[in-house]
Amino acid sequence: MSGFASLRLTLSAAFLGALLHSPLAAAQSAAAPAQSVVTLGPSGLPLPRFVSLKSGRVNSRVGPGANYSVDWMYMKAGLPMEIIQEFDTWRRVRDADGSEGWINQSLLSGRRTAIVAPWQRGKGAQVNLLNSPEQDARVVAMVEPGVMGTIKSCDGQWCEMTFEGHTGWLAQSLVWGAYPGERVKD
Protein backbone atom coordinates (compact mmCIF):
# COMPACT_ATOMS: atom_id res chain seq x y z
CA MET A 1 0.00 0.00 0.00
CA SER A 2 1.42 3.40 -0.94
CA GLY A 3 1.93 6.22 1.55
CA PHE A 4 -0.85 8.14 -0.17
CA ALA A 5 -3.31 5.34 0.47
CA SER A 6 -2.76 5.71 4.19
CA LEU A 7 -3.76 9.38 4.25
CA ARG A 8 -7.34 10.32 4.78
CA LEU A 9 -8.27 13.64 3.29
CA THR A 10 -11.54 14.64 4.81
CA LEU A 11 -14.46 16.86 4.48
CA SER A 12 -16.06 19.41 2.26
CA ALA A 13 -17.70 22.55 3.62
CA ALA A 14 -21.24 21.26 3.28
CA PHE A 15 -20.76 17.51 3.72
CA LEU A 16 -18.29 15.45 5.63
CA GLY A 17 -18.21 12.83 2.92
CA ALA A 18 -18.33 9.09 2.98
CA LEU A 19 -15.66 9.05 5.68
CA LEU A 20 -18.17 9.81 8.39
CA HIS A 21 -21.04 7.40 7.83
CA SER A 22 -20.85 4.34 9.96
CA PRO A 23 -23.09 2.11 12.03
CA LEU A 24 -20.25 2.24 14.56
CA ALA A 25 -20.94 5.93 15.19
CA ALA A 26 -24.57 5.20 16.03
CA ALA A 27 -23.61 2.30 18.29
CA GLN A 28 -20.95 4.39 19.96
CA SER A 29 -23.43 7.19 20.72
CA ALA A 30 -25.74 4.67 22.33
CA ALA A 31 -22.86 3.24 24.35
CA ALA A 32 -21.57 6.60 25.63
CA PRO A 33 -20.66 6.64 29.31
CA ALA A 34 -23.22 7.65 31.90
CA GLN A 35 -22.56 11.19 33.04
CA SER A 36 -22.75 10.17 36.71
CA VAL A 37 -19.62 8.02 36.35
CA VAL A 38 -16.63 10.23 35.61
CA THR A 39 -13.18 8.83 34.94
CA LEU A 40 -10.40 11.41 35.02
CA GLY A 41 -7.36 11.11 32.78
CA PRO A 42 -3.82 12.12 33.74
CA SER A 43 -4.67 15.70 32.65
CA GLY A 44 -7.38 15.86 35.31
CA LEU A 45 -10.06 16.11 32.62
CA PRO A 46 -12.79 13.51 32.06
CA LEU A 47 -12.31 10.53 29.76
CA PRO A 48 -13.84 10.11 27.29
CA ARG A 49 -14.69 13.69 26.21
CA PHE A 50 -15.33 15.58 23.00
CA VAL A 51 -13.02 18.23 21.56
CA SER A 52 -12.41 19.59 18.06
CA LEU A 53 -9.45 20.02 15.74
CA LYS A 54 -7.77 23.39 16.13
CA SER A 55 -6.06 23.39 12.74
CA GLY A 56 -7.09 22.69 9.17
CA ARG A 57 -4.26 20.18 8.77
CA VAL A 58 -3.77 17.64 11.56
CA ASN A 59 -1.81 14.39 11.49
CA SER A 60 -3.15 11.40 13.37
CA ARG A 61 -0.34 9.01 14.32
CA VAL A 62 -0.24 5.30 15.13
CA GLY A 63 1.31 6.01 18.55
CA PRO A 64 1.74 8.82 21.09
CA GLY A 65 4.78 10.65 19.72
CA ALA A 66 6.20 12.51 16.73
CA ASN A 67 8.40 9.50 15.92
CA TYR A 68 5.34 7.35 15.15
CA SER A 69 4.18 7.25 11.54
CA VAL A 70 1.23 9.30 10.32
CA ASP A 71 -1.81 7.10 9.81
CA TRP A 72 -4.39 9.74 8.76
CA MET A 73 -4.41 13.42 7.89
CA TYR A 74 -7.45 15.51 8.75
CA MET A 75 -8.04 18.59 6.61
CA LYS A 76 -10.94 20.34 8.37
CA ALA A 77 -10.54 22.68 11.34
CA GLY A 78 -13.32 22.22 13.89
CA LEU A 79 -13.90 18.54 13.19
CA PRO A 80 -15.20 16.91 16.40
CA MET A 81 -13.04 14.22 17.98
CA GLU A 82 -13.58 12.06 21.03
CA ILE A 83 -10.58 11.77 23.35
CA ILE A 84 -10.47 8.22 24.69
CA GLN A 85 -6.96 8.04 26.20
CA GLU A 86 -4.13 10.34 27.31
CA PHE A 87 -0.38 9.88 27.39
CA ASP A 88 1.86 12.85 28.23
CA THR A 89 0.91 15.57 25.70
CA TRP A 90 -0.72 13.09 23.31
CA ARG A 91 -4.40 12.25 23.05
CA ARG A 92 -5.82 9.09 21.54
CA VAL A 93 -8.88 10.19 19.60
CA ARG A 94 -11.75 8.61 17.72
CA ASP A 95 -13.54 10.27 14.80
CA ALA A 96 -17.20 9.91 13.84
CA ASP A 97 -16.57 6.83 11.70
CA GLY A 98 -14.72 5.05 14.51
CA SER A 99 -11.13 5.51 13.27
CA GLU A 100 -8.61 6.03 16.07
CA GLY A 101 -5.18 7.63 16.29
CA TRP A 102 -2.93 9.86 18.40
CA ILE A 103 -2.90 13.67 18.10
CA ASN A 104 -0.81 16.16 20.07
CA GLN A 105 -2.93 18.14 22.53
CA SER A 106 -1.71 21.43 21.01
CA LEU A 107 -3.74 20.61 17.88
CA LEU A 108 -6.99 20.10 19.81
CA SER A 109 -9.45 22.68 21.07
CA GLY A 110 -12.11 22.62 23.77
CA ARG A 111 -14.49 24.30 21.30
CA ARG A 112 -17.47 21.99 20.87
CA THR A 113 -18.66 21.02 17.43
CA ALA A 114 -20.81 18.14 16.27
CA ILE A 115 -21.77 16.23 13.16
CA VAL A 116 -25.45 15.72 12.38
CA ALA A 117 -26.42 12.04 12.28
CA PRO A 118 -23.36 10.72 10.39
CA TRP A 119 -24.91 7.23 10.59
CA GLN A 120 -27.75 8.50 8.29
CA ARG A 121 -25.44 9.89 5.59
CA GLY A 122 -26.40 8.79 2.08
CA LYS A 123 -29.81 7.49 3.13
CA GLY A 124 -31.78 10.47 1.77
CA ALA A 125 -32.75 11.64 5.25
CA GLN A 126 -32.90 15.28 6.30
CA VAL A 127 -32.94 16.63 9.83
CA ASN A 128 -35.08 19.58 10.90
CA LEU A 129 -33.27 22.44 12.65
CA LEU A 130 -35.93 23.89 14.97
CA ASN A 131 -36.41 27.39 16.42
CA SER A 132 -36.90 26.03 19.96
CA PRO A 133 -36.19 22.80 21.85
CA GLU A 134 -39.61 21.25 21.21
CA GLN A 135 -40.58 18.48 18.82
CA ASP A 136 -43.37 20.54 17.21
CA ALA A 137 -41.37 23.80 16.93
CA ARG A 138 -41.10 25.75 13.68
CA VAL A 139 -38.44 24.48 11.25
CA VAL A 140 -35.60 26.99 10.74
CA ALA A 141 -33.67 24.93 8.18
CA MET A 142 -33.22 21.41 6.86
CA VAL A 143 -29.80 19.90 7.61
CA GLU A 144 -28.22 17.02 5.71
CA PRO A 145 -26.77 14.17 7.76
CA GLY A 146 -22.99 14.51 7.87
CA VAL A 147 -22.95 18.31 8.13
CA MET A 148 -20.77 19.82 10.85
CA GLY A 149 -21.93 22.65 13.10
CA THR A 150 -20.91 24.47 16.27
CA ILE A 151 -22.59 23.57 19.56
CA LYS A 152 -23.82 26.60 21.48
CA SER A 153 -25.35 24.54 24.29
CA CYS A 154 -26.94 21.19 25.10
CA ASP A 155 -29.41 20.56 27.93
CA GLY A 156 -29.21 16.76 27.93
CA GLN A 157 -32.02 16.30 25.39
CA TRP A 158 -31.57 19.13 22.90
CA CYS A 159 -28.56 20.93 21.42
CA GLU A 160 -28.60 24.49 20.13
CA MET A 161 -26.26 24.59 17.14
CA THR A 162 -25.12 26.93 14.40
CA PHE A 163 -24.70 25.83 10.77
CA GLU A 164 -23.37 28.41 8.31
CA GLY A 165 -25.44 31.27 9.71
CA HIS A 166 -28.50 29.25 10.75
CA THR A 167 -28.98 28.67 14.46
CA GLY A 168 -31.54 26.28 15.90
CA TRP A 169 -32.18 23.19 17.97
CA LEU A 170 -31.67 19.48 17.25
CA ALA A 171 -32.47 16.45 19.38
CA GLN A 172 -29.22 15.58 21.17
CA SER A 173 -29.59 11.98 19.99
CA LEU A 174 -29.03 13.22 16.41
CA VAL A 175 -25.56 14.68 16.94
CA TRP A 176 -22.12 13.09 17.18
CA GLY A 177 -20.18 15.44 19.42
CA ALA A 178 -22.24 15.41 22.64
CA TYR A 179 -23.06 12.39 24.78
CA PRO A 180 -26.67 11.44 25.54
CA GLY A 181 -27.72 13.36 28.64
CA GLU A 182 -24.58 15.56 28.62
CA ARG A 183 -24.99 19.26 29.39
CA VAL A 184 -22.82 21.62 27.36
CA LYS A 185 -22.45 25.36 27.95
CA ASP A 186 -20.82 27.72 25.48
72 and 15 in one domain?
yes
CA separation for the pair 33, 110 (Å, rounded): 19
Average pLDDT value for residue range 22-27: 36
107 and 24 in one domain?
yes
Asked whether residue 29 carries a pLDDT value surpassing 90, the answer given is no
Q: What sign results for the dihedral spanned by CA atoms 40, 46, 49, 53?
A: negative
45 and 132 in one domain?
no
- Kindly list the distances between the CA atom of residue 84 and the CA atoms of 23, 111, 167, 180, in Å, as whole numbers in the listed order: 19, 17, 29, 17
134 and 94 in one domain?
no
119 and 107 in one domain?
no
Residue 100 corresponds to which amino acid? E
Name the more confident of 111 and 12.
Answer: 111
Domain boundary residue, one of 77, 111, 145: 111
Domain boundary residue, one of 91, 111, 131: 111
Torsion of CA 83, 84, 86, 90, to 10 degrees: -50
Main-chain dihedrals φ then ψ at residue 181, nearest 5 degrees: 80, -10
User: Which CATH number fits the domain that encloses residue 86?
Assistant: 2.30.30.40
Q: Is 67 exposed, middle or buried (0-12, 13-18, 19+ CB in 10 A)?
A: exposed
Range of the domain at 38: 4-111
145 and 105 in one domain?
no
* pLDDT, position 38: 78
26 and 90 in one domain?
yes
79 and 8 in one domain?
yes
* pLDDT, position 36: 52
Average pLDDT value for residue range 101-123: 96
161 and 89 in one domain?
no
Nearest by Cα to 114 from 72, 83, 159, 180: 159
138 and 126 in one domain?
yes
Mean pLDDT of all residues in the chain? 84
125 and 61 in one domain?
no
Average pLDDT value for residue range 53-61: 97
Encode pLDDT of 80-107 as tens digits: 999 999 999 999 999 999 999 999 999 9
107 and 132 in one domain?
no
Q: For residues 11-33, b (16+ Cβ closer than 10 Å) or e, as one string?
A: beeebbbebbbbeebbebbeeeb
Domain boundary residue, one of 89, 111, 133: 111
- How many domains does the structure of the chain reveal? 2
